């Protein structure tokens, strides 16, 4: 299945390390990050899961629920989580989906046969409270993900939704943003009464809230 931006994230029921859940119901009104791992007891994923556990307060602060997926079974997840806590210094504090039949993996297009038909690639989906897919990133099995970038993108999505702006290259919260070209000057005056700096007619800079 090919998932595109703006589509409703497919719903599913799955067994996880925190019990059986229905994905949309579990998300509720929160943002969500769903990310896959090739299989249990893999070194790169071990570091990623430890880092995600460390960053959970940052996800919580943004109203984001995190859930992982691996094609192994719950009993293997339990053993792997013990290793993660021991080697990374942070116990996994979010649910991990057990997907041995690859139903969820197939639903979200996480298995890329030309890469390896037996495992999932490192896929990340960011889903908004309306259950729409707002971002997806696909990493090869050999490359660990940058979770600072995932948080940065979530900050951008939340800022652009709430403040009607677009964010420039390498943007961080509190830095200036861009008024989208779709907003004409007359409408921009109402949205941004503080004014803006027009470097070009199409490049209008405005401050953002931290």
- Is the Cα torsion angle 153, 155, 158, 161 positive or negative in sign? negative
Three-class SS state of 183: coil
Q: Which residue has the tokens 């997840």?
A: 77
pLDDT tens profile 9-42? 999 999 999 999 999 999 999 999 999 988 888 8
Residues paired with residue 132 on neighbouring β-strands, in sequence order: 8
- Looking only at the bridges linking them, the beta strands covering 133-139 and 177-178 are unpaired
pLDDT tens profile 49-74? 999 999 999 999 999 999 999 988 88
Kindly report the pTM of this predicted structure. 0.91
The kind and range of the H/E element at 16 are strand 13-16
pLDDT tens profile 89-125? 999 999 999 999 889 988 998 877 665 655 556 899 9
The pLDDT score that the predictor gives to residue 55 is 97
User: How many other CB atoms are found less than 10 A from the CB of residue 91?
Assistant: 13
pLDDT band at 129 (very low <50, low <70, confident <90, very high): very high
Annotation says 45 is catalytic: yes
Instruction: Report CA-CA distances (Å) from 139 to 38, 49, 55.
Output: 11, 15, 20
Q: For residue 207, what are the contacts with CB-CB under 8 A and spacing of at least 6?
A: 176, 177, 194
The pLDDT score that the predictor gives to residue 116 is 60
Which member of 45, 111, 153, 159 is catalytic?
45
Could you tell me the two tokens for 109?
């297009």
Q: Which residue has the tokens 């995600």?
A: 52
Q: For residue 95, what are the contacts with CB-CB under 8 A and spacing of at least 6?
A: 16, 17, 18, 19, 21, 26, 67, 68
């Amino acid at each position: 299945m090919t998932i595109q931006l703006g589509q409703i994230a497919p719903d599913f029921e799955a067994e996880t390390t925190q019990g059986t859940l229905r994905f949309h119901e579990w998300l509720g009104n929160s943002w969500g990050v769903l990310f896959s791992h090739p299989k249990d007891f893999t070194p790169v994923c071990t570091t990623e899961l430890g880092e995600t556990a460390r960053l959970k307060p940052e996800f919580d602060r943004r109203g984001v629920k995190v859930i992982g997926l691996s094609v192994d079974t719950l009993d293997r997840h339990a053993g792997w989580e013990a290793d993660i806590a021991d080697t990374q210094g942070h116990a996994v504090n979010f649910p991990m989906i057990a997907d041995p039949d690859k139903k969820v993996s197939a639903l979200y297009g996480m298995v890329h046969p030309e890469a390896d038909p037996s495992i999932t690639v490192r896929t990340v989906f960011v889903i908004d409270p309306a259950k729409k897919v707002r971002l997806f990133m696909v990493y090869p099995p050999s490359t660990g993900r940058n979770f600072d970038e995932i948080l940065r993108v979530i900050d951008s999505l939340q800022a652009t939704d709430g403040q009607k702006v677009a964010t420039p290259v390498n943007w961080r919260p509190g830095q200036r943003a861009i008024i989208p070209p779709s907003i004409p000057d007359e409408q921009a005056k109402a949205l941004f009464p503080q004014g803006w700096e027009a470097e070009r007619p199409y490049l209008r800079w405005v401050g953002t809230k931290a």
